[in-house]
Structure 1
């Protein structure tokens, strides 16, 4: 049966949801409050660059205007370039006729007698109002809607400006200022570098550990080309040892390069890499690339080495007129700005309006959905099932959100067509609890309680692919297409893997992309590749559960 689906938001999640619904023959309509495609990538500071390469970020069946050239020469796109990619995606799949721009979704509520969903929209700056009806609703409004701002002791007497990351549009605005950046993620790293480079003096306040720092580029290539299945399938229990090996191996190579004069880079660039290694090693047991979010950006280290940015602990209090007192008792005076790179809260104001104030179910869903990982697969609340579906509320510790949103959209489209059914409420609740335990064990409860969208890119992708029946049979591939198998195991994790089979598979194009891409094959990659099979033998024949490879089994089997 053909369904009509209302889609809220026209960022990457909304676009790919529309495309997948149209592929299944449904009618999708996107409502976007701005005048353009792209969501946050069109409103963020436009001097910014992505922290995942085009290979990792792109959708499974659309390379973009640069074609094979960018597959063979991958890079980090700027926000402007990625916005263009989304524009091209909308044009390529003829999505624009289904998008209503400059349309604000004020309220969404369910019509009890019919079970359909009503949507109150405003156009022309609120001058025109309409109520539309749909069979289902896809919430693709993004994770950057409501700012999460800290409350500092004494901030009412502070005379400097306290801003959120979203307030920063041009790096040159820092010129001549003494600035304190709060946070340690990728955006905070950008802000630390920009404020140190353009400002008078920069400080960065980090409450505890920073994310595992990985520069955007290593040896002239995007760092995430090394995010292979082999690397991320190795058991999480050995993450500290794996991290130590990779860090010390990098340190060994750097020493060899300097000793024999292979490293021709300027001393400052060498010192930045050294600073990254030292910062990661200092916290390797508590925060490494296997148990933390990634700060896939060397801006923090570069700011400290090149521009004298100074690291500080948590802010204890603010004093008049412009003084910050830090947790270690030190203080800095004459601070012009505090920029809070402290993230966002999931909020859904269109579910919390007068139109559904008496609907206890919708009110409960709106509240519970703020903690994304408590939903079934980050998408489904048990009270509304797939009638109200959340897309894009998932953040991989290493990887990118848009490809995970694509997997969610493909699943939603299959649910709409009836090709897949949701399990019972009891099963969804049980599986969600197992999933939360899994990510807390893998990424620590401290981080997952703060970053409620956090997940593992490969594990989540493969888990979704099992639902859609588009995860390749790698055992069969090993015997029938060994070259393709090697590239899938040791090349970067890409959504093209999931177009080799399953609904709307494009095997010829997927094979072409996988064979065409640039990938890394050095000693660490080979050792990781070998280690995963050694771990598997200990698990399968020795019964040692901690050797169970990640992603080889569904998350629901984690406790077994």
Structure 2
């Protein structure tokens, strides 16, 4: 009598979901991907729309017009699937085209259910299976399926984090988050205050300074991070309060502005996971996770793509291969108490480095290559090529040196260890 094939539920058809589906399908499993939008690609899909989509769900993507990658394509892609481009810092369209091609090559389109929203995930039958409630958004039909494994790949760049400040509700101008930013022309003639110092803040500053009447950037480390984009940009420390016509800062200075754009990052969000799944969020720290990916409370569930300050596509492919080594039974996971201890050791190191709870998944400095090596060694799988981290480090060095022009760099990979700058 033939054995039943294990069933995998993949939540989301972005880069992480496609990698998980491909690798799970390669094991002979029965795989389905539920994607609540109308196309694959996740955060790499661009739309002019903001707010709600046609199914009255929040727009998922935070992509803005003209975006180019902030790390070179040579650190992106998957280990056996490169992004083709004459550029090293590729456009949004090129990344999306690569994902579409990857899905075609591995015949994933036949297992992707577009406009299908995962409503609720609950452990079932002594925690040996999962009950997944799904809504077919096109036909407004609800149905329930059972799975052996869940791989959550819904991304973490779609639920904006907007900090609270005294007076914010009294501001008479426009307040948005970078999630709703699409193009710079919208801010022609405005006095703009950008809050934050990350990738989106610098990209929006570079684009918007050409159109805004004035541009001020407020962030926590004005002496450390230099916005050497334009002499017309003013940099201020943290906001102490928002006034009806602008903002006051912790140094006592004050400005007037007509627009405030919060480039303040995103929150992890898993509204479909029932409390019985055992996943909890505390100040954006997702727990309890073994190696930042496997749900220790129910180790047939993985949350893919949680770490940040990473090479995301390469990491998600590595995480998928890591999880499947255990899900297939080729290797056994440690006991629950051992996995919890492993997590606590990682957390303790971060605390000792002075990292706040919201950075418990940040792979800064040597934490990133160590994480990749740990996943590969633990699961006895092919590691990432050394060239990936070497190019990432070069990118970060050049970005700190020349924020405006670092994307002009082009790289030539010579072998797994070496590269040239063209």
TM-score bracket, normalised by the shorter chain, equals 0.7 to 0.9
Point out 4+ residue stretches in structure 1 off by more than 6 angstroms: none
Equivalent residue number for residue 418 of structure 1: 329
Give the Cα separation in 2 of the matches to 1:38 and 1:203: 33
Distance in 2, matches of 1:175 and 1:378, equals 43
Deviations 1:342-369 (A, max 9, x none): 11111210014xxxxxxx542x424469
Question: Which residue is 1:327 aligned to?
Answer: 250
How many Å apart are 1:93 and its aligned residue? Answer: 1.4
Tell me the equivalent position of 1:49. Answer: 68
1:124 CA displacement? 3.2
- Larger helix fraction of residues: 1
Instruction: Report the TM-score, using the length of structure 1 for normalisation.
Output: 0.63
Q: Which residue does 1:115 correspond to in 2?
A: 128
Q: Deviations over 1:266-304 (max 9, x none)?
A: xxxxxxxxxxxxx4xxxxxxxxxxxxxxxxxxxx321x3
Structure 1 residue 209: Cα displacement:
5.7
- Tell me, in whole angstroms, the C-alpha distance in 1 between the residues paired with 2:77 and 2:390: 15
Equivalent in the alignment of 1:519:
419
Aligned residue for 2:272, secondary structure, equals helix
Q: Distance in 2 between matches of 1:183 and 1:343?
A: 8
Instruction: Tell me which residue corresponds to 2:358.
Output: 450
Identify if the C-alpha distance between structure 1 residues 404 and 115 changes in structure 2 by more than 3 Å, giving closer, same or farther.
same
Q: Secondary structure at the match of 2:165?
A: coil
Please give the alpha-carbon distance, in whole angstroms, between the structure 2 residues aligned to 1:208 and 1:28: 46
Q: Does the C-alpha gap of structure 1 residues 165 and 87 become closer, same or farther in structure 2, counting only changes over 3 Å?
A: same
Aligned partners of 1:167 and 1:369: how far apart in 2?
Answer: 23
Task: Classify the secondary structure of the residue corresponding to 1:18.
Answer: helix
1:432-471 matches, cutoff 5 A: 432-441=343-352, 444-446=354-356, 449-455=357-363, 456-470=367-381
Q: Partner residue of 2:10?
A: 7
Report the CA distance shift for 1:368/1:153 in structure 2 as closer, same or farther (over 3 A).
closer
Does the Cα contact within 8 Å between 1:372 and 1:394 map onto a contact in 2? no
Q: Deviations over 1:378-400 (max 9, x none)?
A: 11232111x1111111113xx42
How far residue 489 of structure 1 moved from its aligned partner, in angstroms, is: 10
Residue in 2 that maps onto 1:183: 196
Deviation at 1:518, TM superposition (A): 6.7
Change (3 A) 1:163 1:155: same
Alpha-carbon RMSD: 2.8
Would the alpha carbon gap of residues 488 and 160 (structure 1) be closer, same or farther in structure 2, given more than 3 Å must change? closer
Residue 517 of structure 1 and its aligned partner are, at CA, apart by: 8.8
How has the CA–CA distance of structure 1 residues 459 and 147 changed in structure 2, closer, same or farther, with 3 Å as cutoff? same
Q: Which residue of 2 aligns with 1:174?
A: 187
User: What SS does the corresponding residue of 1:383 show, helix, strand or coil?
Assistant: coil
Tell me, yes or no, if the aligned pair for 1:181 and 1:341 is still in contact at 8 Å: yes
Residue of structure 2 aligned with 1:145, choices 135, 153, 158: 158
Residues 159 and 269, structure 2, Cα contact 8 Å, conserved in 1:
yes
2:302 maps to which residue? 389
How many Å apart are 1:514 and its aligned residue? 6.2
Aligned to 2:110: 97
Corresponding residue SS for 1:75:
coil
Cα distance, 1:430 vs structure 2: 1.2
CA deviation after TM superposition for structure 1 residue 33, in Å: 0.8
Kept after mapping to 1: 8 A contact 2:326/2:332? yes
Does the 8 Å CA contact 1:373/1:452 hold for their aligned counterparts? Answer: no
Q: Deviations over 1:468-517 (max 9, x none)?
A: 213579xxxxxxxxxxx9x86995479xxxxxxxxxxxxxxxxxx86389
Q: Which runs of 5+ in 1 are unaligned?
A: 214-278, 280-299, 353-359, 474-484, 495-512, 522-560
For residue 419 of structure 1, give the secondary structure of its aligned residue in structure 2.
coil
Q: Is the 8 A contact 1:143 1:344 kept in 2?
A: yes
* TM-score after normalising by structure 2: 0.83
Distance 1:94 1:425 in 2: 36
Confirm or deny: 8 A CA contact 1:368 1:374 kept in the other structure. no
Matched residue pairs, number?
Answer: 381
Q: How has the CA–CA distance of structure 1 residues 178 and 490 changed in structure 2, closer, same or farther, with 3 Å as cutoff?
A: closer
Contact 2:193 2:261 survives alignment (8 Å): yes
CA shift for structure 1 position 457: 2.4
Compute the displacement of 1:75 (Å): 0.6
Which residue of structure 1 lines up, in the alignment, with residue 41 of structure 2? 38
Q: Which has the larger radius of gyration?
A: 1
